[in-house]
Amino acid sequence: MSRFDPSRRRVLGGLGALAGASLLRGQQDPFRDHSRVPGLDEMVTTLDFEEVFRAKAPREIYDYTSYAAEGEFTLRRNREGFSWVDLVPRGVVDVSFIQTATEILGTKMAYPIMASPTSGHGNLHKDGEYATHQATTEASATPYIVSNASSFPFEKIAAAATGPVWFQLYPRQSVDETREILEKAQAAGCKAVAITMDQQATYYERPGHYRNLVETPGGRTPRRPTFHNPYRVPEGRLWYSWKFLDEIRPFVKVPFFAKGILTAEDAELCIEHGLNGVYVSNHGGRSVDYGPSTLEVLPEIVTAVRGRVPVIIDSGFRSGSDILKALALGASAVCVGRTARWGLGAFGAPGVKRVFEILQAELVMAMAQTGRPTLASIDRTLVKTRFR
Ligand SMILES: Cc1cc2nc3c(=O)[nH]c(=O)nc-3n(C[C@H](O)[C@H](O)[C@H](O)COP(=O)(O)O)c2cc1C
């Protein structure tokens, strides 16, 4: 019998091995029935929420959350940045108690983790920003930075809130209109204001491709953006300047900080122009494509700021060890954008709450494992960077 001529025994043996292997795989794979969408209690990492969100949401809603500028190089680089930072643990340290509470710009928080401002939560869940805020408060009195492009009015979200709310501003070109927005937000009780300085002329390719389809799976034909110039340049925020910032600075009586800072020079300008904080962000890769990851620019910004104001960071953070790396490089707190949206779209308020609980538990674990039991004990000696 040639070795290619299968005997009955070999065929049966082979089948047995196959059956055994798939049985084993089945036992090891908790989501082995892939037609079933996993439940909240099956979420292990924040990334699990993305798959559930993708399964539940119409494609255009899912994609609106996930896409980034142009070829999405910076979106990927934000994640890559974390693999260029090693955590170097110290042993023989008592980590039986881990301290994570902090205070930033006058707001006390149980963990240095906050929710980034992101638009339109009503597309993700019927309770929109109300749900996000309830969840971040329940999880840890985590401040939630409500977007200027929220689905519900800021005043109503703030009135319903039991925990601290901060406000994110997209200024209007008219100083008076901007003043009105700022005064309303402060009257409603926001504890701090972030002014978004980036994303001046972003172009997203993914929805551009959808416009070539007759209809999206949601049944709607996406609108074609109308630009008043021959280029891919939305005019919305092309007129920003530091002078404009100086004009609106007096209207803000609570701590005021700039979001979208990526250089030491701009961080210095933030302080010169009387801002109280620096928020390092590339809008989760939605600002300029081929920009650096925020983790890469964090050290030079921290050096420039010299502890004069807090440095907040976002873009690409998905786990507690990601957060620990930024803290070690000098960030005062980390914000998460998409992960909170995945939680909301997947499970509503309980989903957002669980996302934060996972991040908090992972941060505590990472601090314990690296022998850094307090926020004060986290410093540059915890990391080795190999940025490229
Ligand atoms: C769908 C979506 C909407 C966003 N909307 C806003 C917004 O309204 N205002 C703003 O300042 N930033 C906005 N951002 C940027 C976030 O504040 C944040 O910088 C980014 O999500 C952080 O990256 P991450 O999603 O990887 O955590 C948005 C981001 C996403 C993904």
68 CA from centroid of ligand 1 (Å): 10
**Best of 78, 80, 113, 118 for a ligand 1 pocket test (most atoms within 8 Å of beta carbon):** 118
Residue minimizing CA distance to atom 4 of ligand 1:
118
DSSP string, 88-118: ----S---SS----EEETTEEESSSEEEPP-
Q: What is the pLDDT of residue 12?
A: 42
pLDDT at 323 exceeding the cut of 90: yes
| Residues 311, 304: Cα–Cα separation, whole Å | 11
Enumerate the active-site residues: 283
- Of ligand 1's listed atoms, the one at least distance from the Cα of 259 is 11
Each domain of the chain, given as residue ranges in start order, spans 51-385
Q: What is the pLDDT of residue 92?
A: 85
Confidence band, pLDDT 50/70/90 cuts, at residue 200:
low
Q: Which residues line ligand 1 (CB under 6 A)?
A: 64-65, 116-119, 147, 149, 168, 196, 259, 281, 283-284, 286, 314-317, 336-338
Tens digit of each residue's pLDDT (9 = 90 or more) over 130-179: 999 999 998 877 889 999 999 999 999 999 988 899 999 999 989 999 99
- Of ligand 1's listed atoms, the one at least distance from the Cα of 196 is 11
337 CA from centroid of ligand 1 (Å): 5
336 CA from centroid of ligand 1 (Å): 8
Rounded to an integer, the average pLDDT of 197-224 is 66
364 CA from centroid of ligand 1 (Å): 25
Rounded to an integer, the average pLDDT of 338-348 is 97
Report the 10 Å Cβ neighbour count for 41. Answer: 6
90 CA from centroid of ligand 1 (Å): 35
> What's domain 51-385's superfamily in CATH?
Aldolase class I (3.20.20.70)
Rounded to an integer, the average pLDDT of 5-30 is 48
| Residues 129, 138: Cα–Cα separation, whole Å | 14
Residue minimizing CA distance to atom 14 of ligand 1:
118
- Of ligand 1's listed atoms, the one at least distance from the Cα of 284 is 23
Q: What is the pLDDT of residue 103?
A: 97
pLDDT at 119 exceeding the cut of 60: yes
CA distances from residue 319 to 23, 133, 311, 334, 355 in whole angstroms, order as listed: 31, 20, 19, 11, 10
Q: Is 40 helix (H, G, I), strand (E, B) or coil?
A: helix
| Residues 87, 324: Cα–Cα separation, whole Å | 9
Residue minimizing CA distance to atom 3 of ligand 1:
118
pLDDT at 5 exceeding the cut of 50: no
Q: What is the pLDDT of residue 3?
A: 43
Tens digit of each residue's pLDDT (9 = 90 or more) over 235-292: 667 778 999 999 999 999 999 999 999 999 999 999 999 999 999 999 999 988 999 9
- Of ligand 1's listed atoms, the one at least distance from the Cα of 68 is 31
The single residue listed with the structure tokens 């940025």 is 387
- Percent of the chain whose predicted confidence (pLDDT) is above 90: 72
pLDDT at 84 exceeding the cut of 80: yes
Q: Which residue has the higher pLDDT, 252 or 202?
A: 252
Amino acid at position 99, single letter: Q
